[in-house]
Amino acid sequence: MPTRRPPADAPPEALTPAERKLVAEEEALLAAVLAALSSRRTGRDDGAELEGRLRELREEAQELTAKDLPTVFQEMGLVRAVMERSRGGALPDPAAPYFAHLRLREGKEVRDYCLGRATFYDREAEVRVVDWRAAPVAGLFYRYRDGEEYEEPFPGRVARGVVEARRVVVIDRGRLVRITAGSTALLRAPDGWRRATVSGARLGGGAGTAARAGLLGVGVGARDRAADPEVTALLDREQWEAVSAPASEPLLVLGSAGSGKTTVALHRLARIAAADPRRYPASRIQVVVPEPGLARLAQRLLAPLGLDKVAVRTLDDWARAAFQSAFATPPPRLCAEPPALVSRLKRHPALHAALVAQPHPAGAATLRGLRRDLGDLLVDPKFVAGVVARAEGDLPTTAIEEVVRHTRLQLADPAAQALAGIDPERLATIDGLPVDEDTPEALGGTLDAEDLPLLIFLAALRGGSGARRLSHLVVDEAEDVSLVELAVLGSSLEGERSVTIAGDEAQQTFSSYAGWPQALEAVGAPRAATVRLATTYRCPAPVAALAHHILGPLAPPEAPRAGKQGSPVVRFDFPGEAHAQLFLSGAIRELLEREPEASVAVVASSAETARGFHKLLADLPEARLALDGAFAFKPGVDVTDVASVKGLEFDYVIIPDASARAYPDEPEARRRLHVAVTRTAHQLWIAATGTPSPLLASLRPA
């Protein structure tokens, strides 16, 4: 029987004098901020006081020497920012007024700044809470560390000084509960403050210490789990430079799984919207992602950034809305499950190239005409064969017959139209379903979901337009967005191409990826600035190393840097799925008893396998079957499949069926397994059933 490991955080010990001083400083600062907020909320005239202070500063500036002017200009800029923010009536939330503390020294002047999501200033109390999205001083927090000298251009001056303190704090219900300063981390426990483990820079929580062999869990899901710092406080310099890129510049953010691509894209959006809300209102901003689960997660991440009204859409939802906007009519009936080869060809870069090469008469075309033109192309074996040839082996020749046959069925008259005039009683069926249900004739008059952007694209090639106009666009997991979709998305941007594209070619799960230069060209931003995030903050080092090995010949030349160490990956071999499921279900039950606040994902290779595994846990109220993006984003177990988890993160991940059949030595299987293993923030277990996947050869079984 395995021995339980000690908690990840150190037991309570007496703090050093320096640590006690750190706690006292941060508690005093919080008390001052809360007192000033309380005073402001009792009815003081913010506007009159701020305008008076601004007049005083102007008068002082007229009498000061050039040496003293920078300090006055800095305060004038802060007062103006506060006046602008105060017009909206927003004050910091007393329950969590800020998430970071920055102390700067410029000459003999020492100032403390608190970074939060609203601006608040009280001169008498020397309280300065600044909005990280808009305050220039926020850049110093992300670009510099304790003790470093800085020189940065501020409005009206160049700021020079030293960062005396840079601290990340967690305030919960108006109470300071966590302080991180460099290598020091302190937690408030029931019996007082104590030290905690710091595992390096991170975006998704610390890994704790390695688990003992055979034990699932590293302690991160215990009931007394300390609150994690806000993600906004944990951006590194590289990420901050991407976040603070000018709104007018298109930006491509690349990085491995867990490197913070989504975080950067959404935080950049928050800064853009805050800097110029009139130009970038929520109503004209859109976030588009491939999968429903990631769409729901992005919506949750935008809420604390003040962007809860920004539309987040999956590709399918976006395509329907774009179709209705372009043609002023809802999409027709869609085929529920088109053949996989047909969908693959319609999203392939080769079809985009073939359509661009076609002659397109100038002038607007009707929807009926566009549907006829697209259908004529897709029932032409010569045209479809040309698309397959352009794919250079990426599409099988069997796709030609499949596409032609499927399109002919769709171009046929709907069965209801053909049967018009027949006595309805003669058409009645025993099961009450339409007479053409589950027959090829049911496809008559339908379109595929992939046809919606194709029709808008054809209209654009003829000079037509009518799609909704956007001021800024975010496309996440863009490696799974086709060139046609990117072209239509880009055409919705007005004026400058204010767009953020985020992706990772190693995680592509569709045949739509053509290369980043081609993707940028399609969206209309060929000269976009490119940022590649080199550190993975989600996955511990052992998981990052395994993920790189799984990609094999598809892997980038250099493995991503891991931002933290952590538990070794454990592989268990079983003769069949039944043995693996019984063992893993027992381990999960024990884990939830010890760590009820943990988030666990069982990521199966298919939805069918996920349903079977969920039956073993169905008696657990914490167990949920999460397919097609139906994630609860709360503690417990989500039993799901690879197709549903892109972009998501869990404390623990279990792969229950890593067999050679599920994950053979093929490019698609390498990418799918790579996606599955990189969802974990702390610990990964793999069950290899039957013949183990050859992609796990580097991982010795326990």
SS (H, E, C) 301-320: HHHHHCCCCCEEEEHHHHHH
Judged against a pLDDT cut of 70, whether residue 277 lies above it is answered with yes
Q: What is the pLDDT of residue 365?
A: 80
In this structure, is residue 179 part of a structural domain? yes
- Measured CA to CA, the distance from residue 134 to residue 230 in angstroms comes to 18
Task: For residue 637, give both structure tokens.
Answer: 């177990």
Strand partners, 289: 314
* Residue pLDDT, tens place only, 370-422: 999 999 999 999 999 999 999 999 999 999 999 999 999 999 887 555 544 55
Residue 512 has, within 13 A of its CA and on its CB side, a CA count of 26
For 658-672, what is the mean pLDDT? 95
How far, rounded to the nearest angstrom, does the alpha carbon of residue 91 sit from its chain's CA centroid? 28
- Measured CA to CA, the distance from residue 100 to residue 141 in angstroms comes to 9
- Measured CA to CA, the distance from residue 125 to residue 682 in angstroms comes to 42
CB 105 within 8 A of CB 117: no
* Residue pLDDT, tens place only, 636-664: 999 999 999 999 999 999 999 999 999 99
Residues with Cβ within 8 Å of 386's Cβ and at least 6 positions away in sequence, in order, are 354
Judged against a pLDDT cut of 90, whether residue 79 lies above it is answered with no
Judged against a pLDDT cut of 60, whether residue 191 lies above it is answered with yes
Claim to verify: residue 575 and residue 642 sit in the same structural domain: yes
Say if strands 100-106 and 109-116 run parallel, antiparallel, or are unpaired. antiparallel
Claim to verify: residue 32 and residue 180 sit in the same structural domain: yes
The candidate with the shortest Cα–Cα distance to 15, out of 169, 196, 205, is: 196
CB 167 within 8 A of CB 179: yes
Q: Which amino acid is at 324?
A: Q
Claim to verify: residue 22 and residue 150 sit in the same structural domain: yes
Claim to verify: residue 528 and residue 622 sit in the same structural domain: no
Task: For residue 473, give both structure tokens.
Answer: 């666009």
In this structure, is residue 701 part of a structural domain? no
Claim to verify: residue 442 and residue 567 sit in the same structural domain: no
Q: What is the pLDDT of residue 63?
A: 64
The DSSP output letter for 333 is P
- 445 by Cβ neighbours in 10 Å (0-12 / 13-18 / 19+) ranks as middle
Claim to verify: residue 513 and residue 662 sit in the same structural domain: no
In this structure, is residue 36 part of a structural domain? yes
Task: For residue 670, give both structure tokens.
Answer: 């390498």
Instruction: Name which of 8-12, 243-247, 659-663 the model is least confident about.
Output: 8-12
In this structure, is residue 5 part of a structural domain? no
Number of folded domains in the chain? Answer: 4
CB 685 within 8 A of CB 572: yes
Cα angle for residues 414, 417, 420 (degrees, 5° grid): 150
Structural element, H or E, at residue 186: strand 184-189
- Measured CA to CA, the distance from residue 545 to residue 417 in angstroms comes to 59
Sign of torsion over alpha carbons 484, 485, 488, 493: negative
In this structure, is residue 456 part of a structural domain? no
Confidence class for position 618, pLDDT limits 50, 70, 90: confident
- Measured CA to CA, the distance from residue 433 to residue 446 in angstroms comes to 18
Judged against a pLDDT cut of 60, whether residue 427 lies above it is answered with no
Claim to verify: residue 192 and residue 68 sit in the same structural domain: yes
Domain boundary among 431, 446, 461: 446
- Measured CA to CA, the distance from residue 368 to residue 327 in angstroms comes to 10
* Residue pLDDT, tens place only, 39-78: 876 544 555 666 666 777 776 666 666 666 666 666 666 6
Claim to verify: residue 161 and residue 65 sit in the same structural domain: yes
Confidence class for position 206, pLDDT limits 50, 70, 90: very low
Claim to verify: residue 45 and residue 194 sit in the same structural domain: yes
List the CATH number of the domain containing 556.
3.40.50.300
In this structure, is residue 339 part of a structural domain? yes
In this structure, is residue 602 part of a structural domain? yes
Judged against a pLDDT cut of 50, whether residue 204 lies above it is answered with no
Claim to verify: residue 26 and residue 157 sit in the same structural domain: yes
In this structure, is residue 6 part of a structural domain? no
Domain boundary among 533, 551, 569: 533
Claim to verify: residue 188 and residue 61 sit in the same structural domain: yes
Residue 559's domain comprises: 541-696
Task: For residue 328, give both structure tokens.
Answer: 């002023």
Cα 580 to Cα 575, 591, 593, 616: the distances in Å are: 8, 16, 20, 11
Confidence class for position 563, pLDDT limits 50, 70, 90: confident
Claim to verify: residue 379 and residue 524 sit in the same structural domain: no
- CA-derived radius of gyration, the chain: 29
